[in-house]
Structure 1
Amino acid sequence: MNKYILTSDHYKGTVQFNYDNAGLMVFYSVLDAELNEKQLVTLLQKLPREEAALAALNTSQYFTVRKVSEDLSFENFITEYGKKIHPHRCEPYWNRLSDVKKLAYLKCIPAYKAYLKRTGVAQANPEGFLKREYYKTDWSKES
Protein backbone atom coordinates (compact mmCIF):
# COMPACT_ATOMS: atom_id res chain seq x y z
CA MET A 1 0.00 0.00 0.00
CA ASN A 2 1.27 3.48 -0.90
CA LYS A 3 0.43 6.49 1.24
CA TYR A 4 0.58 10.15 0.23
CA ILE A 5 0.16 13.43 2.08
CA LEU A 6 -1.34 16.45 0.30
CA THR A 7 -0.60 19.94 1.66
CA SER A 8 -1.32 23.46 0.45
CA ASP A 9 -0.58 27.04 1.40
CA HIS A 10 -4.33 27.67 1.15
CA TYR A 11 -5.37 25.58 4.17
CA LYS A 12 -3.95 24.24 7.41
CA GLY A 13 -3.28 20.57 7.94
CA THR A 14 -2.98 17.70 5.52
CA VAL A 15 -5.06 15.31 3.45
CA GLN A 16 -4.02 11.67 3.29
CA PHE A 17 -4.54 9.29 0.35
CA ASN A 18 -3.84 5.54 0.43
CA TYR A 19 -3.62 3.39 -2.69
CA ASP A 20 -3.54 -0.37 -3.05
CA ASN A 21 -0.97 -2.26 -5.12
CA ALA A 22 -3.10 -1.82 -8.24
CA GLY A 23 -2.93 1.98 -7.83
CA LEU A 24 -6.56 2.45 -6.79
CA MET A 25 -7.53 4.64 -3.87
CA VAL A 26 -8.68 2.65 -0.87
CA PHE A 27 -8.70 5.43 1.73
CA TYR A 28 -8.60 9.19 2.10
CA SER A 29 -8.79 11.40 5.16
CA VAL A 30 -9.37 15.13 5.57
CA LEU A 31 -9.68 14.91 9.36
CA ASP A 32 -6.36 16.69 9.92
CA ALA A 33 -7.10 19.45 7.38
CA GLU A 34 -8.98 22.65 8.08
CA LEU A 35 -10.95 23.06 4.85
CA ASN A 36 -13.84 25.41 4.24
CA GLU A 37 -16.85 24.12 2.32
CA LYS A 38 -15.62 25.38 -1.06
CA GLN A 39 -12.20 23.77 -0.57
CA LEU A 40 -13.78 20.47 0.47
CA VAL A 41 -16.08 20.44 -2.57
CA THR A 42 -13.14 21.21 -4.89
CA LEU A 43 -11.08 18.43 -3.33
CA LEU A 44 -13.90 15.92 -3.69
CA GLN A 45 -14.40 16.93 -7.34
CA LYS A 46 -10.70 16.47 -8.09
CA LEU A 47 -10.26 13.43 -5.88
CA PRO A 48 -7.39 11.38 -7.36
CA ARG A 49 -9.04 7.95 -7.51
CA GLU A 50 -5.97 6.47 -9.18
CA GLU A 51 -2.41 6.86 -7.95
CA ALA A 52 -1.27 8.09 -11.38
CA ALA A 53 -3.62 11.08 -11.05
CA LEU A 54 -1.58 12.42 -8.12
CA ALA A 55 1.03 13.64 -10.59
CA ALA A 56 -1.43 16.24 -11.89
CA LEU A 57 -1.98 17.56 -8.37
CA ASN A 58 1.75 17.76 -7.75
CA THR A 59 2.29 19.94 -10.84
CA SER A 60 -0.27 22.43 -9.55
CA GLN A 61 1.03 25.59 -7.92
CA TYR A 62 -1.53 25.12 -5.12
CA PHE A 63 -0.64 21.66 -3.82
CA THR A 64 2.34 19.60 -2.70
CA VAL A 65 2.13 15.80 -2.69
CA ARG A 66 4.63 13.73 -0.67
CA LYS A 67 4.86 9.97 -0.53
CA VAL A 68 5.00 8.67 3.02
CA SER A 69 7.81 6.16 3.06
CA GLU A 70 8.86 6.51 6.68
CA ASP A 71 8.53 3.69 9.15
CA LEU A 72 5.53 4.76 11.24
CA SER A 73 5.69 1.84 13.65
CA PHE A 74 5.72 2.33 17.40
CA GLU A 75 9.05 0.54 17.58
CA ASN A 76 10.59 3.14 15.26
CA PHE A 77 9.09 6.00 17.28
CA ILE A 78 10.33 4.73 20.64
CA THR A 79 13.80 4.06 19.20
CA GLU A 80 14.03 7.52 17.60
CA TYR A 81 12.74 9.16 20.78
CA GLY A 82 15.40 7.37 22.78
CA LYS A 83 13.59 7.14 26.09
CA LYS A 84 11.86 3.81 26.61
CA ILE A 85 9.83 4.55 29.74
CA HIS A 86 6.41 2.86 30.04
CA PRO A 87 6.14 1.88 26.37
CA HIS A 88 3.13 -0.31 27.23
CA ARG A 89 1.23 2.87 28.22
CA CYS A 90 2.04 4.97 25.17
CA GLU A 91 1.91 2.31 22.44
CA PRO A 92 -1.92 2.16 22.40
CA TYR A 93 -2.01 5.95 22.12
CA TRP A 94 0.50 5.83 19.22
CA ASN A 95 -1.55 3.19 17.44
CA ARG A 96 -4.67 5.41 17.54
CA LEU A 97 -2.88 8.33 15.85
CA SER A 98 -3.35 9.04 12.16
CA ASP A 99 -0.37 8.48 9.88
CA VAL A 100 -0.18 12.25 9.42
CA LYS A 101 0.28 12.81 13.15
CA LYS A 102 2.73 9.92 13.47
CA LEU A 103 4.82 11.48 10.73
CA ALA A 104 4.61 14.91 12.42
CA TYR A 105 5.83 13.43 15.71
CA LEU A 106 8.73 11.64 14.04
CA LYS A 107 9.72 14.78 12.13
CA CYS A 108 9.77 16.94 15.28
CA ILE A 109 12.01 14.64 17.37
CA PRO A 110 15.36 16.02 16.07
CA ALA A 111 14.31 19.65 16.73
CA TYR A 112 12.99 18.66 20.18
CA LYS A 113 16.29 16.94 21.04
CA ALA A 114 18.24 20.01 19.85
CA TYR A 115 16.05 22.15 22.11
CA LEU A 116 16.78 19.86 25.08
CA LYS A 117 20.51 20.03 24.43
CA ARG A 118 20.42 23.82 24.02
CA THR A 119 18.40 24.49 27.18
CA GLY A 120 19.34 21.61 29.47
CA VAL A 121 15.66 20.80 30.05
CA ALA A 122 14.91 17.17 30.90
CA GLN A 123 13.33 15.05 28.17
CA ALA A 124 9.63 14.31 28.66
CA ASN A 125 8.62 10.69 28.89
CA PRO A 126 7.24 9.40 25.58
CA GLU A 127 3.66 9.24 26.87
CA GLY A 128 3.73 12.93 27.82
CA PHE A 129 5.44 13.82 24.54
CA LEU A 130 2.55 12.26 22.65
CA LYS A 131 -0.37 13.34 24.81
CA ARG A 132 0.80 16.97 25.07
CA GLU A 133 1.06 17.10 21.28
CA TYR A 134 4.67 18.32 21.26
CA TYR A 135 4.71 18.04 17.47
CA LYS A 136 2.76 21.32 17.35
CA THR A 137 5.60 23.27 18.98
CA ASP A 138 8.26 24.99 16.87
CA TRP A 139 11.23 23.81 18.94
CA SER A 140 13.69 25.96 17.01
CA LYS A 141 12.01 29.08 18.44
CA GLU A 142 11.74 27.88 22.03
CA SER A 143 14.35 29.02 24.52
Structure 2
Amino acid sequence: MKKYMLTSVLFTGTVVFVYNAEGWLVGFDNSAEFSDDQHLWLIKNLPLKLGVIEPWSKKIKGTLKEVPMDLSFDVFWETYGKKINRLRTEPLYKKLDDTAKALAIMRVKPYQTYCKNNNRGIADPEKYLRNGYYDTDWSKER
Protein backbone atom coordinates (compact mmCIF):
# COMPACT_ATOMS: atom_id res chain seq x y z
CA MET A 1 0.00 0.00 0.00
CA LYS A 2 1.33 3.43 -0.91
CA LYS A 3 0.07 6.77 0.29
CA TYR A 4 0.76 10.17 -1.29
CA MET A 5 0.00 13.66 -0.04
CA LEU A 6 -0.63 16.44 -2.57
CA THR A 7 -0.34 20.16 -1.91
CA SER A 8 -0.56 22.96 -4.47
CA VAL A 9 -0.46 26.71 -4.89
CA LEU A 10 -3.92 26.35 -6.46
CA PHE A 11 -5.64 25.31 -3.20
CA THR A 12 -5.29 25.36 0.59
CA GLY A 13 -4.89 22.07 2.46
CA THR A 14 -3.97 18.60 1.27
CA VAL A 15 -5.33 15.69 -0.71
CA VAL A 16 -4.16 12.19 0.21
CA PHE A 17 -4.26 9.30 -2.28
CA VAL A 18 -3.93 5.65 -1.22
CA TYR A 19 -2.94 2.90 -3.69
CA ASN A 20 -3.02 -0.85 -3.16
CA ALA A 21 -0.22 -3.30 -3.99
CA GLU A 22 -1.46 -3.55 -7.60
CA GLY A 23 -1.21 0.23 -8.02
CA TRP A 24 -4.96 1.02 -8.02
CA LEU A 25 -6.44 3.96 -6.15
CA VAL A 26 -8.32 2.53 -3.18
CA GLY A 27 -8.98 5.71 -1.28
CA PHE A 28 -8.41 9.39 -1.00
CA ASP A 29 -8.96 12.03 1.64
CA ASN A 30 -9.71 15.52 0.47
CA SER A 31 -9.10 17.99 3.27
CA ALA A 32 -8.35 20.83 0.84
CA GLU A 33 -10.43 23.91 0.30
CA PHE A 34 -11.66 23.74 -3.31
CA SER A 35 -14.06 25.72 -5.41
CA ASP A 36 -16.96 23.79 -6.96
CA ASP A 37 -15.08 23.70 -10.28
CA GLN A 38 -11.98 22.30 -8.59
CA HIS A 39 -14.03 19.59 -6.85
CA LEU A 40 -15.60 18.55 -10.15
CA TRP A 41 -12.24 18.52 -11.89
CA LEU A 42 -10.74 16.35 -9.14
CA ILE A 43 -13.56 13.81 -9.32
CA LYS A 44 -13.43 13.62 -13.12
CA ASN A 45 -9.63 13.36 -13.21
CA LEU A 46 -8.73 11.17 -10.25
CA PRO A 47 -5.37 9.44 -10.78
CA LEU A 48 -6.74 5.89 -10.71
CA LYS A 49 -3.36 4.20 -11.29
CA LEU A 50 -0.19 4.89 -9.36
CA GLY A 51 1.82 5.39 -12.54
CA VAL A 52 -0.13 8.50 -13.55
CA ILE A 53 -0.13 10.41 -10.27
CA GLU A 54 3.23 12.14 -10.71
CA PRO A 55 2.57 13.57 -14.21
CA TRP A 56 -0.97 14.36 -13.05
CA SER A 57 0.32 16.36 -10.07
CA LYS A 58 2.56 18.45 -12.34
CA LYS A 59 -0.47 19.51 -14.39
CA ILE A 60 -1.95 21.19 -11.34
CA LYS A 61 1.33 22.67 -10.09
CA GLY A 62 1.29 20.31 -7.16
CA THR A 63 3.89 18.93 -4.80
CA LEU A 64 3.57 15.21 -4.24
CA LYS A 65 5.16 13.45 -1.25
CA GLU A 66 5.00 9.78 -0.39
CA VAL A 67 3.81 9.22 3.17
CA PRO A 68 5.56 6.23 4.74
CA MET A 69 3.34 3.33 5.75
CA ASP A 70 3.05 2.63 9.49
CA LEU A 71 4.44 -0.91 9.87
CA SER A 72 4.17 -1.08 13.65
CA PHE A 73 2.90 -4.21 15.37
CA ASP A 74 -0.03 -2.23 16.76
CA VAL A 75 -1.24 -1.47 13.23
CA PHE A 76 -1.03 -5.17 12.34
CA TRP A 77 -2.78 -6.14 15.59
CA GLU A 78 -5.65 -3.69 15.08
CA THR A 79 -6.02 -4.58 11.38
CA TYR A 80 -6.12 -8.32 12.10
CA GLY A 81 -8.73 -7.84 14.78
CA LYS A 82 -8.61 -11.37 16.25
CA LYS A 83 -6.73 -10.53 19.42
CA ILE A 84 -5.40 -13.87 20.60
CA ASN A 85 -1.86 -14.69 21.82
CA ARG A 86 -0.33 -11.23 21.50
CA LEU A 87 2.74 -12.29 23.52
CA ARG A 88 3.56 -15.04 21.02
CA THR A 89 2.51 -13.07 17.94
CA GLU A 90 4.49 -9.86 18.49
CA PRO A 91 7.99 -11.46 18.37
CA LEU A 92 7.05 -13.24 15.13
CA TYR A 93 5.95 -9.96 13.58
CA LYS A 94 9.08 -8.12 14.72
CA LYS A 95 11.29 -10.72 12.99
CA LEU A 96 9.73 -9.88 9.60
CA ASP A 97 11.45 -7.46 7.25
CA ASP A 98 9.57 -4.32 6.17
CA THR A 99 8.31 -5.88 2.93
CA ALA A 100 6.84 -8.86 4.79
CA LYS A 101 5.31 -6.55 7.43
CA ALA A 102 3.63 -4.50 4.69
CA LEU A 103 2.27 -7.68 3.07
CA ALA A 104 1.12 -9.02 6.43
CA ILE A 105 -0.94 -5.86 6.98
CA MET A 106 -2.20 -5.40 3.41
CA ARG A 107 -3.33 -8.99 2.97
CA VAL A 108 -5.31 -9.27 6.21
CA LYS A 109 -8.59 -8.04 4.70
CA PRO A 110 -8.35 -10.16 1.50
CA TYR A 111 -7.50 -13.20 3.69
CA GLN A 112 -10.46 -12.58 5.99
CA THR A 113 -12.77 -12.06 3.00
CA TYR A 114 -11.52 -15.34 1.48
CA CYS A 115 -12.22 -17.17 4.75
CA LYS A 116 -15.70 -15.67 5.02
CA ASN A 117 -16.59 -16.48 1.39
CA ASN A 118 -15.41 -20.08 1.84
CA ASN A 119 -16.99 -20.67 5.26
CA ARG A 120 -13.62 -21.01 6.94
CA GLY A 121 -12.53 -19.75 10.30
CA ILE A 122 -9.85 -17.09 10.48
CA ALA A 123 -6.54 -18.34 11.82
CA ASP A 124 -5.13 -16.89 15.01
CA PRO A 125 -2.70 -14.07 14.17
CA GLU A 126 0.22 -16.18 15.40
CA LYS A 127 -0.62 -18.90 12.85
CA TYR A 128 -1.20 -16.29 10.11
CA LEU A 129 2.39 -15.09 10.60
CA ARG A 130 4.07 -18.40 11.44
CA ASN A 131 2.65 -20.14 8.37
CA GLY A 132 3.24 -17.17 6.07
CA TYR A 133 -0.42 -16.73 5.10
CA TYR A 134 0.52 -13.18 4.09
CA ASP A 135 2.58 -14.60 1.21
CA THR A 136 -0.62 -15.65 -0.57
CA ASP A 137 -2.50 -13.14 -2.72
CA TRP A 138 -5.90 -13.99 -1.24
CA SER A 139 -7.76 -11.73 -3.66
CA LYS A 140 -6.85 -14.20 -6.44
CA GLU A 141 -7.73 -17.37 -4.51
CA ARG A 142 -11.08 -19.08 -4.99
Identity between Structure 1 and Structure 2 (%)? 42
* Aligned residue identity for 2:86: P
* Aligned residue identity for 1:136: D
Distance (whole Å) between structure 2 residues aligned to residue 79 and residue 95 of structure 1: 15
Q: Which runs of 4+ in 1 moved over 2 A?
A: 140-143
Segments of 5+ residues of structure 2 without an aligned counterpart are: 1-65
Deviations 1:72-110 (A, max 9, x none): 111110110011100000101111111111001111111
Paired residues in the alignment total 80
Q: 2:116 corresponds to which residue?
A: 117
Q: Note closer, same or farther for the CA distance 1:105–1:68 as it changes in structure 2 (3 Å cut).
A: farther
* Aligned residue identity for 1:140: S
The TM-score, its normalising length taken from structure 1, stands at: 0.51
SS at match of 2:139: coil
Distance (whole Å) between structure 1 residues aligned to residue 68 and residue 120 of structure 2: 32
The TM-score, its normalising length taken from structure 2, stands at: 0.51
Q: 1:74 corresponds to which residue?
A: 73
Q: 1:128 corresponds to which residue?
A: 127
Distance (whole Å) between structure 1 residues aligned to residue 118 and residue 91 of structure 2: 31
Q: 2:98 corresponds to which residue?
A: 99
Distance (whole Å) between structure 2 residues aligned to residue 124 and residue 97 of structure 1: 18
What is the aligned-residue RMSD (CA, Å)? 2.1
Matches within 5 A, 1:1-143: 69-143=68-142
Distance (whole Å) between structure 2 residues aligned to residue 101 and residue 68 of structure 1: 18
Q: Note closer, same or farther for the CA distance 1:70–1:114 as it changes in structure 2 (3 Å cut).
A: same
Distance (whole Å) between structure 2 residues aligned to residue 88 and residue 125 of structure 1: 12
- When Rg is computed on C-alpha atoms for both structures, the one with the higher figure is 2
Deviations 1:40-89 (A, max 9, x none): xxxxxxxxxxxxxxxxxxxxxxxxxxx57121111110110011100000
